[in-house]
Amino acid sequence: MSFENVAIEKCPSYDYEVVKEALDKVLADIDALDFVKPGMRIGIKTNLVAAMAPDKSVTTHPVLLKRLCEKLLEMGASVVIGDSPGGLYTPMFLQNVYKTCGLETMVKELDPTGEKLKLNDDYSIHNGEFLDAVSIKTFIYTGWLDNVDAIINFSKLKTHAMMGMSCAVKNMFGTIPGATKPEYHMRFPEEHAFANIMVDLNEFFKPKLYVVDAVDGMEGNGPTAGEKRHIGAVLASAKPYALDMVCAELIGMGYADVATLIVANERGLGPKDFSEVTVVGSCPVSEIKVADFKRATIHQSITFEGKGIQGALTSAVLKLAYTTKPQVKVKECIGCRKCADTCPAKAITMVDGGKNKIPQIDRSKCIKCFCCQEFCPKGAMKVHYNLLGRFANRINHV
């Protein structure tokens, strides 16, 4: 089975001229904007997971968004940029995110009148029905997406505590209103089922184009509290699954490490190996690959299934080795209770920690969705491995 071409080009910095050359090349490599016609309204679904400055490498960089918007405007289209971060889906909350992430300034520079380019200001919520879905046949989503003619998904390459990697496929979870996201974690706590939500959303909305900001990615405690790691690339494809396979290869991961790749392949939508993807562009992946990229978790498989007595024993050992859980680093905690407020299982209570209240996790209730880790503003909630898992992690990176 063949899959969509994936374009990749080197992009060593966020300097505008460097970005312009690299992004223009990667889009030209696959004729990515051929679908754009004058008068179209294009929605750019970006990654604005939290109100954090561009240099933190948490969100899609505004310089890349600027160049993409310029090209769309030059082609006669109008553009609206949006996302629904974790938290309230309200004007006050989103406006702070837009400003902090550098988008407010960028949009005003390109179109001061807001006639052709704007940040989403439609906070309506609509009901969706997708009978071909595996996990969510009915759901609610952000209504602004109904008012565009085509969607471009512009994601950021990062590690993710639950899914292994956050990139093109995972980015579509931002179509779900922020305050509703914990509900889906609670309804689908198992990785395989939750990964199918991501694939369901991609198949429902069917973006026309996927672009990835992999200039500076995030390793370790991603997707919001890890460390910036330079990768130096931008990528694009018409389909997200082959694109995510290439992105996984870039950071030393593979099919078994990324839950969304596994379920996409099971549904006949994506590749099972990097060799199944056609990569185009002026630079081979091997020249950009970061082999020692630090992972958030180890995902050798989602189910660890095995046959017979030996298979069952192997499965039990693997589950023990690779099971992770969230754990607070007390010295870094500021007692803001964001983790307790976002926990879908209500497994976190705030207890006396000396200088301030600190979170205490009820392990019998914890569903290991890592919402607390993802939305901790200080990165104090960490992904914790057991002793066997820490040993396996060191072996994995030798």
CA within 13 Å, CB half, 323: 11
Which tokens in the block code for residue 267? 């549904």
- Divide the 398 residues of the chain into consecutive groups of 10 and give the mean pLDDT of each group: 85 98 98 98 97 96 98 98 92 96 97 96 96 94 98 97 93 93 85 95 98 97 92 98 98 94 97 96 95 72 51 55 74 90 88 86 85 82 61 42
CB 106 within 8 A of CB 62: yes
Coil, strand or helix at 204: helix
Question: Where does a domain end: 255, 287, 319?
Answer: 287
Q: How many CB atoms lie within 10 A of CB 201?
A: 25
In a shared domain, residues 359 and 282: no
- Domain membership of residue 246 as a residue range: 6-287
Q: Do residues 266 and 312 both lie within one domain?
A: no
Does a structural domain hold residue 78? yes
- Angle at 110 (CA atoms; ends 107, 112), nearest 5 degrees: 75
User: Is 1 a member of any domain?
Assistant: no
Domain harbouring 151, CATH code:
3.40.50.11440
> How far apart, in Å, are the Cα atoms of 147 and each of 84, 116, 118, 120, 206?
16, 14, 13, 11, 15
| Residues 233, 350 share a domain | no
Among left, alpha and beta (phi > 0; psi -120 to 50; other), residue 376 is: beta
- Both tokens of 141, joined, read 């989503």
Residue 223 preceded by cis peptide, ω within 30: yes
Q: What is the CA radius of gyration of the chain?
A: 20
The number of residues in the chain equals 398
Which of 257, 287, 317 lies at the terminal end of a domain, its last residue? 287
| This prediction's pTM | 0.83
